[in-house]
Amino acid sequence: MTDSLRVAALEVDIHLGDVDGNLARIRAAIERGAAAGARLIVLPELATSGYVFRDVAEATDASLTRDDPRLDALRETLPGGAVAVFGYLERGADGLYNSAIVLGRDGELGHYRKSHLWDRESEIFQLGDAAGAVVDTPVGRVGVAICYDNEFPEVPRGLALAGADVLALPVNWPFVPHPEGERAPETIMAMGSARASRLPTVIADRIGAGAGAERGVEWTGGTAVIDGDGWVAAEPLDGMAVAELEIQPGDKRLNDRNDLFGDRRTALYRPH
Amino acid sequence: MTDSLRVAALEVDIHLGDVDGNLARIRAAIERGAAAGARLIVLPELATSGYVFRDVAEATDASLTRDDPRLDALRETLPGGAVAVFGYLERGADGLYNSAIVLGRDGELGHYRKSHLWDRESEIFQLGDAAGAVVDTPVGRVGVAICYDNEFPEVPRGLALAGADVLALPVNWPFVPHPEGERAPETIMAMGSARASRLPTVIADRIGAGAGAERGVEWTGGTAVIDGDGWVAAEPLDGMAVAELEIQPGDKRLNDRNDLFGDRRTALYRPH
């Protein structure tokens, strides 16, 4: 059975440390995605806080606890049956986490703490204890991973095998030089991992270069919707990428003889 | 320590069923790669036989045993210290295999039987019992996989974790429609898997469309050298792609804080 799922990935103009301002901008972005008819709305990593903190103390000032009523209040912006996924800077009992929340009209549906930390993140954040999450939602089983997580093939593969129908991927991709005419390397990896598991992937990234950079870090601007065949189905128009995805829960058939998961030779694979 | 390795991937004008003619063309291709200074020379899948067989009987007529002196004789074309990898149709004790041989000046260095079979291949070939191979050679540790094998993220990842410095990938990629301006999907997947494990990948594919098709199957023409960052370092010029690859045995550092293998959270990954 093929379902159709309208999704939106939105850039958000995030200001470092301005939590209430960012929450207002997140609210506006969710409203915009909902108005476009999207039932799955994805926003960037650390959308409440920004990214380039000097140290734990400064990051702590921009953190929120998971039960902060300001996070919960964002559900008011969601139509019934719609789901939003966004990153936030979580203040946990034992330290800070780079986390994502999966929000429905009636409250939190799922939660994930990033488990592969990039560069200076390891000076700020604790490591999460799961390699992504699969969350049951009104729009299906939504996989969640954050940024660098997805560069480990084990993560999108594991989420697809665990039954994710679609992957929500909040990111902050710092710009890295790449050959002219090529897509950003993280995009190519996401196209490959999407196709490898027929796992549509909804990516929301930062934007900004030059004066728009955050303490000198420029962003790739990789917001995109990638379909289950690995193709870029939508890129941002005025900050929002919207696409209608075909979702085939659990169906990985490629032709009469091949099934992407059935063809796996699990007994032959090297243990992780 | 960074080593430099000159590699060549060559298209070969393979004729269905014409084993001796194909062996002569393989010989010429290896000689051409060697003359270009390549120390690792990769040719397509099933280079001795062609691909689109009607049935086992017809494929058997184009098969070779692993110890066929005509295969061994090809080593005469290799300069000392150089290595060739090519696909052949193997007649084993218990049936036919879609195999690859790794050949050095002094004889066979390694051998691999394809373990993920595409479409009608399952009517012709037996399944191999390894997910790729890693072969110690004079040019380093060469990973070997064949075509559809590489679309399973477990394969290139497993070979890199097992110590492969470079992946030799003989393929026969049938053309599949894809969006204008995009590379073939198999190429994108190979770029992604190369970057995910910093595993340079040397791809040798068929060519031919229209009258050059084999019983109606047209080929993508995906011959390419992909470097360890996942970029296409060389595409064919007159049938041969040559590049100088940087090889960093075992070194997966990305920056002062990140190591692509060290950052893996093996305890968190879903078992295969």
C-beta atoms of B119 and A179 within 8 A? no
The answer to whether B188 contacts A185, with C-beta atoms less than 8 Å apart, is no
Helix axes B154-161, B185-197, angle to 10 degrees: 30
**A25 to chain B, minimum CA–CA distance in Å?**
32
- pLDDT tens-digit profile of B57-80? 999 999 999 999 999 999 999 999
Three-class DSSP category at B60: helix
pLDDT at B130 over 70: yes
- Rounded Cα gap, residues A46 and A49, in angstroms: 6
Closest CA to B145 of B136, B157, B239: B157
| Residues contacting B94, CB < 8 A, separation 6+ | B126
Is A114 one of the catalytic residues?
yes
What's the burial of A217, exposed, middle or buried (CB within 10 Å: 0-12/13-18/19+)?
middle
Average pLDDT over residues B224-247: 97
Give pairs for A122-127: CB < 8 Å, separation 24+. A122/B257, A123/A55, A123/A56, A124/A53, A124/A55, A124/A56, A124/A59, A124/A96, A125/A95, A125/A96, A125/A97, A125/A98, A126/A92, A126/A94, A126/A95, A126/A96, A126/A97, A127/B265
Chain A interface, best mutation among B116, B118, B189, by max A CB count within 10 A: B189
Could you tell me which chain A residue has the CA closest to the CA of B267?
A272
Chosen for mutation from B123, B197, B263 (greatest number of chain A CBs closer than 10 Å) is B263
Q: Inter-chain contact B153–A151, Cβ cutoff 8 Å?
A: no
Residue B272 CA to its chain's centroid (Å): 24
ipTM, 2 dp: 0.97
Instruction: Say whether pLDDT at B255 is over 90.
Output: yes
Report the pLDDT value the prediction gives residue A211, as an integer from 0 to 100: 82
Measured in angstroms, the CA of A129 and the nearest CA of chain B are apart by 7
* Closest chain B C-alpha to A119 CA, distance in angstroms: 5
Other C-beta atoms lying within 10 Å of the C-beta of residue A206: 30
| Sequence-distant (≥ 6) Cβ neighbours of residue A5 within 8 angstroms | A39, A40, A139, A140, A165, A166, A244, A245, A247
What count of other Cβ atoms lies within 10 Å of the Cβ of residue A98?
Answer: 32
Closest C-alpha to A222, from A183, A177, A192: A183
DSSP β-ladder status, A107-113 and A95-104: antiparallel
Q: What is the DSSP letter of A184?
A: P
Nearest residue, CB atoms, B196 vs list A129, A151, A265:
A151
CA-nearest residue of chain B to A190? Answer: B192
Mean pLDDT of B118-130: 98
pLDDT (tens digit per residue) in B85-116: 999 999 999 999 999 999 999 999 999 999 99
List, by residue number, the catalytic residues of B.
45, 114, 147
Q: What is the pLDDT of residue A65?
A: 98
pLDDT confidence bin for B1, thresholds 50/70/90? low
If we measure between CA atoms, which residue out of A97, A82, A166 comes closest to residue A130? A97
- pLDDT exceeds 80 at position B20: yes
Please provide the size of chain B in residues: 272
Task: Identify which of B117, B118, B270 has the shortest CB distance to residue A161.
Answer: B270
Q: In the predicted model, what is the mean pLDDT of residues B214-220?
A: 95
What local confidence, expressed as pLDDT, does residue A255 receive? 95
pLDDT score at B209:
87
Q: Report the pLDDT value the prediction gives residue A1, as an integer from 0 to 100.
A: 61
Q: What is the pLDDT along chain A (272 residues), one digit of tens a residue?
A: 679 999 999 999 999 999 999 999 999 999 999 999 999 999 999 999 999 999 999 999 999 999 999 999 999 999 999 999 999 999 999 999 999 999 999 999 999 999 999 999 999 999 999 999 999 999 999 999 999 999 999 999 999 999 999 999 999 999 999 999 999 999 999 999 999 999 999 999 999 888 889 999 999 999 999 999 999 999 999 999 999 999 989 999 999 999 999 999 999 999 99
What chain B residue is nearest to A231 in terms of C-alpha separation?
A: B179
- B182 to A231: CB separation less than 8 angstroms, yes or no: yes
The pTM score is 0.98
- What pLDDT shows up at residue A210? 86
Asked if A196 and A173 count as a contact pair (C-beta separation under 8 A), the reply is: no
Q: What percent of chain B has pLDDT over 70?
A: 100
Taking CA atoms, what residue in A is nearest to B230? A185
How high is the pLDDT of residue B140?
97
